[in-house]
Amino acid sequence: LPFALSYSIGFLLIAVFDPLAFVIPRWAALLFRISLGSCVGIGFSAIVYLGLLMLGFATPVAILSIEITCAGILATLWAFRRRTREGSPPCSTRTRPSAGSGISLLMTGVFVCALLLAGYCLIRASVANPAGEWDATAIWNLRAKFLVDQQHWRFVASPLAGTRPEYPLLISSFAARGWKLAGAYVTIVPVLLALTFWATLHGLIVSALAMLRGTTAAMLGGLILLSTTPLLHWAAAQYADIPLACYMLATLALLFIDARSETKHPQALVWAGVCAGLAAGTKNEGDVFAALVLVAFLLSRPPRRRTGFLFAGMLPALLPTICLKVFLPAPSQLVTGQTLAGIFAKIGDPARYELIGRSLLDRLMELGSGPGHPLVLLAFLALIVSPGGCKRYRSSVWISSAAVGGMFFFYLGIYLVSPLDLPWHLQSSLDRVLLQIWPCFVLLVCCMLPEDAGFVWPFDVRKYILACHL
C-alpha cells in the first residue's frame, strides 16, 4: 500500500502537469511518465511524512488521509484534462521513424532479455541480504528507525548516533513512512525502495533516449547501464547513490525534452527543477548538482520567464532540506578538524594526485569486463553513427556538460582535501560517486549523436545482422 499510493500520486502529478503531451513514440512517453512519477511520488510522500513528523501528527491515519485525498483530487483533474484533450492536434515534438526497424527490434529483444536477467540477479541478491550493506544498516535504515519515533525523531541529527547527521532525509523519511504504515520494521520496505530506483533509472534512460534519439540509441543506452557491473551491486546494497543518480538523470532528461519541444510548455522546466531539488534532498552531493544546474541555466541567458519556471519547481522541493539544515544543523565530517594550512598542504602534495588518478583509472576499468564493458559499448555507439547534432540542443548540452563535469571535478576536489585516510576513502566510495553521474554522462553522449536515421553500417554489417535476426 505505501508504495502503490506513492506511485499513483507521482504518476497522476506527471499526468496532470504533463511535459510530454502528444510526444511519440507513445510507449516511450508512457514509460517516462511512469519512471518520473515513481521518483516524484517517492519524494512527495517523503516530504509529506517529514512535514507531519515536524508538526507532531505523523500517524497512519494522517498520512493516509492526506495522500488518499491528494490522489483523489489528482485523479479527478486527470480525467477532466483527458476529456479536454480529445480531438486536439498532435504536437510536433516527435522523433523521425527509425531507418533500421529490424535492428531496433533486435536491440529491443536483447535489452529486454538482459533487463530480466539482471533484475532476477538483483532480486536474488536482495533476498539473500535484505538488510543491505554497511551504510544502509548503519546510516540510511538506522536514520529511518529514528524517524518512526514521533517523540525522539530529532535524535537523527545527533552526532552521538553516528548516522552521518549532515545527510538529507528523503530516503530515510520514505522508509520510515513505510514502516509507520506497516506497523513494523519489515525489510521489504528498503528492499523494494532499492529495486524501484534501479528499475526507474533504466526506464528513464531508455524512454528519454527513445524520444530524443530513437529506439536503437535508447536500447544501446539501456544496455550500457545494464553492463555497468557496480550498478547492480550498489542497487542491492540499498545506498542512496542510485536514487541520487535517478533524480540527476531525470533533471537533465527533462532539460533535453524541453529543448526538443517546439511549443515550449513550462511543465518540463518545472519538473526539472523539482527533480534537482529532490536530488538535494537525497544526498549532500545533490546540493552541488542543483546549484550547478541553476548556475549553468542562468549562464545560458534564458528568458526571465523560463528561469522562473525552473526556480518555481526547485524551491518547493528544496524547502524541506533547507529547513533541516537551518533548524537541525550538523557539521560534515569532511570539514571537521580541517585547517586552512592543512588543506593547502594536501593540495600541494603530488602523491595525492597520483593516488587519485590511479584509483580513478581502476574504477573505470571495473565498470565492466570484456566486450560488454560500458566504455566499449559507448565507443561502438559512436563508431556506428555518422557525425551530426541538433542545434536546438546546444543549451541543454551546455547545461548538462557543466553539471556532469562540475560534479566530476567536485568529487576529485573532495578526495584531494579529504581528512580521511585517502586510500580507504577512495576504495570505499569512488565507484559509488562515479555511478551518480554515469547515467547522466551516457544520456549526454547519446544526445550528442544523431538519430536512428543517421546510422551508418560499414562493411554491410547491417544486412548481416538482419539476416541473422531473421
* Residue 32: per-residue pLDDT: 95
Task: Reply yes or no on whether the pLDDT at 456 is more than 50.
Answer: no
Confidence tier at 144 by pLDDT (50, 70, 90): very high
Measured CA to CA, the distance from residue 112 to residue 223 in angstroms comes to: 9
| Cα torsion through 296, 168, 275, 309, rounded to 10 | -60
Average pLDDT over residues 179-199: 93
Average pLDDT over residues 132-136: 88
Confidence tier at 455 by pLDDT (50, 70, 90): very low
Q: State pLDDT tens for residues 227-272.
A: 898 898 899 998 999 999 999 999 999 999 888 775 567 889 999 9
Average pLDDT over residues 70-87: 84
| Cis peptide leading into residue 25 (ω within 30°) | yes
Check if the beta carbon of residue 252 is closer than 8 Å to that of residue 443.
yes
* Residue 453: per-residue pLDDT: 41
Measured CA to CA, the distance from residue 256 to residue 204 in angstroms comes to: 13
Is pLDDT larger for residue 378 or for residue 469? Answer: 378
Average pLDDT over residues 183-211: 93
Tell me the Cα Rg of the chain.
Answer: 22
**Cα distance from N-terminal residue to C-terminal residue, the chain:** 44
* Residue 175: per-residue pLDDT: 95
* Residue 376: per-residue pLDDT: 81
| 347: CB partners within 8 A, 6+ apart | 416, 417
| 100: CB partners within 8 A, 6+ apart | 216, 452, 455, 457, 462
**What nine digits make up the cell of 385?**
553513427
Measured CA to CA, the distance from residue 210 to residue 113 in angstroms comes to: 18
Measured CA to CA, the distance from residue 107 to residue 465 in angstroms comes to: 11
142-151, 168-177, 326-335: least confidently modelled range: 326-335
Measured CA to CA, the distance from residue 98 to residue 420 in angstroms comes to: 51
* Residue 155: per-residue pLDDT: 86
Measured CA to CA, the distance from residue 161 to residue 146 in angstroms comes to: 10
Helix H or strand E encompassing 242: helix 241-260
Task: Reply yes or no on whether the pLDDT at 89 is more than 60.
Answer: no
Check if the beta carbon of residue 377 is closer than 8 Å to that of residue 227.
yes
* Residue 34: per-residue pLDDT: 95
137-141, 258-262, 341-345, 436-440: least confidently modelled range: 258-262
pTM: 0.90
